[in-house]
Structure 1
Amino acid sequence: MDTTPDDQAPDPATPSAGSAPTLQQVVDLAEELWPSGLAEPWDAVGLVAGRRERPVRTVHFAVDPVRAVVEEACDAGADLLITHHPLLLRGVHSVDAAGYKGEIVHRLIESSCGLLTAHTNGDSAVGGVNDVLAGMLGLQDATPLKPAEDGLPHEGLGRLGTLDVGTTLGELAGRLFGLLPAVAGGVRVAGDRDGIVQRVALCGGAGDSLLDVARQAGADVFITADLRHHPASEAREAVRDGRPYLIDVSHFASEWLWLPTAAQALQRALADRGYDVEVVVSGITTDPWDFVLTPGG
Structure 2
Amino acid sequence: MRLNEIYRFLDEISPFDLQEEWDNSGINVGINDEVERIYLSLDIDENVIEQLKPNSLLITHHPLIFKGIKKVNYNSFSTKYLISLIQKNCSHIAMHTNFDKTHLNNYFARKVLGFDGESADFVFYSDVFMEFDELVDLVKEKMNLKHIRVVKAKDFVKRVAITTGAGMSLLPYVKADCFLTGDIKYHEAMDAKAREINLIDITHYGSEKYFVDALYDDIKDLEIEIIKINSENPFSLI
| TM-score normalised to structure 1 length | 0.73
User: In 1, Cα distance between the equivalents of 2:57 and 2:88?
Assistant: 10
Alpha-carbon distance between aligned partners in 2 of 1:79 and 1:46, rounded to the nearest angstrom: 16
- Structure 2 gap ranges (5+): none
Instruction: Report the CA distance shift for 1:104/1:236 in structure 2 as closer, same or farther (over 3 A).
Output: same
What's the secondary structure of 1:140's corresponding residue? coil
Query: Is structure 2 residue 119 aligned with structure 1 residue 143?
Result: yes
Question: CA-to-partner distance for each residue in 1:193-239, whole Å, 9 max, x for gaps?
Answer: 8x23231101000000111111xx2x1211000011112202211x3
Contact 1:34–1:122 (CA under 8 A) maintained in structure 2 = yes
For 1:113, which of 90, 94, 98 is the aligned residue? Answer: 90
Describe the shift of the 1:92–1:207 C-alpha distance in structure 2 as closer, same or farther (beyond 3 A). Answer: same
Of 35, 56, 60, the residue aligned with 1:79 is 56
Instruction: Give the secondary-structure state (helix, strand or coil) at the position aligned to 1:167.
Output: strand
In structure 2, what residue type is equivalent to 1:258? F
Paired with 1:278 and 1:167, the residues of 2 have a C-alpha distance of 44
Partner of 1:212: 172
Alpha-carbon shift at residue 140 of structure 1 (Å):
2.7
**Structure 1 contact 259–281 (Cα < 8 Å) conserved:** yes
Which residue does 2:2 correspond to in 1? 22
Cα distance between partner residues in 2 of 1:221 and 1:250: 15
Shift of the alpha carbon at 1:29? 0.9
Write the deviation string for residues 97-137 of structure 1: whole angstroms up to 9, x where unpaired: 46453231121112121111111111011xx1101122133
Are the aligned partners of 2:43 and 2:231 in contact in 1 as well (CA < 8 Å)?
no
Instruction: Tell me the amino acid that sits aligned with residue 151 of structure 2.
Output: A
Partner of 1:133: 108
Letter in 2 for 1:107: S
Runs of 4+ in 1 over 4 A off after TM superposition: 97-100
- CA spacing shift, 1:181–1:29, aligned 2, 3 Å: farther
Does 2:160 correspond to 1:200? Answer: yes
Q: Deviations over 1:167-186 (max 9, x none)?
A: 2222222222233366x9x5
Aligned partner (choices 198, 216, 225) of residue 245 of structure 1 = 198
Letter in 1 for 2:133: G
* Equivalent runs, 1:184-199 vs 2, <5 Å: 186-191=147-152, 195-199=155-159
Task: Give the RMSD, CA atoms, in angstroms.
Answer: 2.2
The answer to whether the 8 A contact 2:41-2:211 is kept is no
Distance in 1 separating the partners of 2:33 and 2:231: 29
Deviation at 1:39, TM superposition (A): 0.8
Query: Are 2:219 and 1:254 equivalent residues in the alignment?
Result: no
Structure 1 unaligned blocks of 5 or more = 1-20, 145-155, 293-297
Contact 1:50 1:115 in 2 (8 A): yes
* Structure 2 residue 132 is the aligned partner of structure 1 residue 169: yes
Closer/same/farther in 2, CA of residues 181 and 37 from structure 1, 3 Å limit: farther
Paired AA for residue 288 in structure 1: P
Contact 1:60 1:78 in 2 (8 A): no
Is 1:157 matched up with 2:122?
Answer: yes
Alignment of 1:224-243 (within 5 A): 224-237=181-194, 239=195, 242=196
**Identity over the aligned pairs, expressed in percent?**
27
Match of 2:14 among 14, 34, 43: 34
State the SS of the aligned residue for 1:233.
helix
Structure 1 residue 70, shift from structure 2 partner: 2.1
CA distance in 2 between counterparts of 1:235 and 1:58 reads 45
**Among candidates 212, 225, 231, match of residue 278 of structure 1:** 225
In structure 1, give the amino acid aligned to 2:148.
V
Instruction: State the number of aligned residues.
Output: 237
Is the 8 Å Cα contact of residues 23 and 51 (structure 1) preserved in structure 2? no
